[in-house]
Each structure stands twice: as C-alpha cells, then as structure tokens.
A and B are shown apart, each in its own frame.
Chain A
C-alpha cells in the first residue's frame, strides 16, 4: 500500500537546504522530482542507465570524500541494481546517502506494481548489506528526521520513503548527457574540469 507522503514534497524537503550536496537523480520520476525542486548543475539527472544511480553515487562519494553525496532514485531503479547495495555496504562511504522514493510502481511505463508493492523491504536489504543505517519513512512528520540523517548523519544511509502513487506534471532537466556531465564537473571542480 502506498503512503500518505507526496513525492515532490519529500524531494523538495531533501533539496531545499542542499548547500554543497552532490545529487544523482535516478531516471524517470525522481529526475523530474529533483528538477521540480530546482535544477542545479550539481545534480546529475539520469535519462538511462537504469539500475546504476547508486553506483554513480558511490563513485562520486569515493572521489569527493569531503562532500556529501545524495542519490535520489525510484524503487524500480533501485531494484534493478540491488547488488549495488552490497557493493556500497563493503565500501561503507560515510558521505553517501541513498533515498529511494518508493511509490511501489513503475511510474513511466503504466504504473505496474514493483516488488516493493509485494513487501520487499529495501531498508532491510540495505542493513543486511552492511549499511550503517536504514529507515522507512511514511509520515510527513518524519521528513525532518530524514533530512537530518541525510545531511548530517553518518553514511552509508538508505532511506525508503513510501509515497503516494501519483502521476504528476513532467518537469524535465536538460537531456544531453555530455552537457549534464560537463556542467556538473565545472560546478564542482572549476576550471580544472576542462583541463583534466
């Protein structure tokens, strides 16, 4: 069953005080949610590579240990790359948080039920993989604690945020991969990005 939370409220709460946080947005609705909360060059929205958002976050977290890295992705996207949770659990990056916006649906393809609709508990999977902390979030009152855990807590953290299954207006980030990569690197690394 879907929760009472609305996905864009949750993502907005996570991003409105993002400061220097580096964000990877999983393809589909979570990329649109992040864009609706305000596009940023320090957000890398995916338009493909389904199942790889958390691993991109891991690579980024290892390369930038002094920055916080936040992966915001969907339940279907996370389910496609569950092995990444084991890989992250081995590396234990203290600066990485993975937030799964879980509507229990494949939202881009006709709202078919995902495994989480049948009870698969991603927070328990993450704990079993060695994440230091994992939580399920269902109520609006829990968002403040989620934001604190993501922005100030010790990683790796996985939060499974149960949200209503709803179709929302598309708010699209730029599509071109080369542009998204270059703007991210320039914003993070400065002029060195173009000379490396």
Chain B
C-alpha cells in the first residue's frame, strides 16, 4: 500500500495547492518533509495554528489554494479565527493528526483531543474521520473537493490509531 503521506502530497499537487502551513506534529513528519522538498509548494512553519487560518485566507484572497497541517491540540488555538472563515465563506482544508483519542498515554492530551470534532463542528467546519491508514487518502480527496469545489471549511481527523503513538519513547523516536 502506498504511504498515506505520499498519497496526500499527490492530492495536493492535483488540487493545485500552493501554500502549506503547518505546526509540526510527529504524525505529519513525512508529509511536511514531502512539502518542504517540493519546489512548487510554499511551506510555511507557523508559531501557532491560528496563524494558518489567516495565511490560507490571505492566499485565497490572492487566488491560491492551500492546506493546513496540525495536531488536534492546535485546533483549540484556531477557534476564533474560524469565525472569519465561516463569515467570509473561505474554503479551508485542514489535516489534523489526533491525540487524546485512541490509546493515549498522556492525560493532558485527552481533553482537547476529545473536544476536537465537537468544537470544529460548533464553528461550522465539516469533519471527516480517517480511522485507518487506508482511509486517509480517500478522506483527503473528498475533503479537498468539498473545500475547493464547494467552498467549505473541512477538517480530516487522522486517528491516533493511524499515527500509532502509544508511548513517550515512540513519540521521540518518530
């Protein structure tokens, strides 16, 4: 099976994504590296996730498509900025690697992880879930169509089961 990060990067190319904003997460490591080495994409490291909402809004104002990569803890940082997305009907494609969700070992991750789909829905963001590695690429394909075909804000939540982090040691080894 093709690595989901490779398939998602190919989807970005097909979609015409020109700007990728990210706050690093171990689960996004390979996709971030693929984007950083792609000369047709501008990879933008963010100091906090909400910056990415503004980045992609500005890119869309300028005629460019984008995508935003973050961990579930970062979704909480985006909430007020998502109000602009909804009021202006900006298209938005978010790929969220989940923590606090499937076999979490760090209790501090659990509250935001469990609240992630709830608060996204509360702000009008359509949520797609990818529970297995096989589901990630189809979910991102569908989400990108919904975002840029139908001008919606869409988040793909990539399960902690896909990322497979079950201990601090595994996290540091990623």
Where the two chains meet, the residues of A that have a C-beta atom closer than 8 Å to any C-beta of B are: 22, 24, 44, 46-64, 67, 81, 83-84, 86-87, 90-91, 176-178, 180-181, 184-185, 188-189, 192-193, 196
Contacts and interface: CB of A to CB of B under 8 A. Distances in A.
Interface string B64-107: 10100000000000001101100111100000000000000000
A81 B78 CA distance: 12
B49 to A, nearest CB: 10
Contacts of A44: 61
A54 B46 CA distance: 13
Interface in B28-73: 42, 44-48, 50-64, 66
Interface string B6-38: 000000000000110000000000000000000
A196 to B, nearest CB: 7
Interface residues of B, number: 32
A84 B90 CA distance: 20
Contacts of A87: 44-47, 51, 55
A24 B57 CA distance: 11
A97 B73 CA distance: 31
A62 B59 contact: yes
A52 B88 contact: no
Contact of A52 (B54, B59, B89): B54
Contacts, number: 129
A59 B45 contact: no
Which secondary structure dominates chain B's binding surface? helix
A115 B44 CA distance: 28
A177 B59 contact: no
Nearest to B148: A196
Contacts of B88: 177-178, 180-181
B45 A90 contact: yes
Contacts of A67: 62
A190 B45 CA distance: 31
Nearest to B83: A48
A83 B61 contact: no
A62 B19 contact: yes
Contacts of A58: 44, 54-55, 58
Contacts of B18: 62-63
Contacts of B64: 59, 62-63
Contacts of A53: 54
B62 A60 contact: yes
Given A48-B84, A81-B54, A177-B88, 10 more contacts: A46-B84, A49-B57, A55-B54, A59-B19, A61-B58, A63-B19, A83-B46, A83-B51, A178-B89, A189-B63
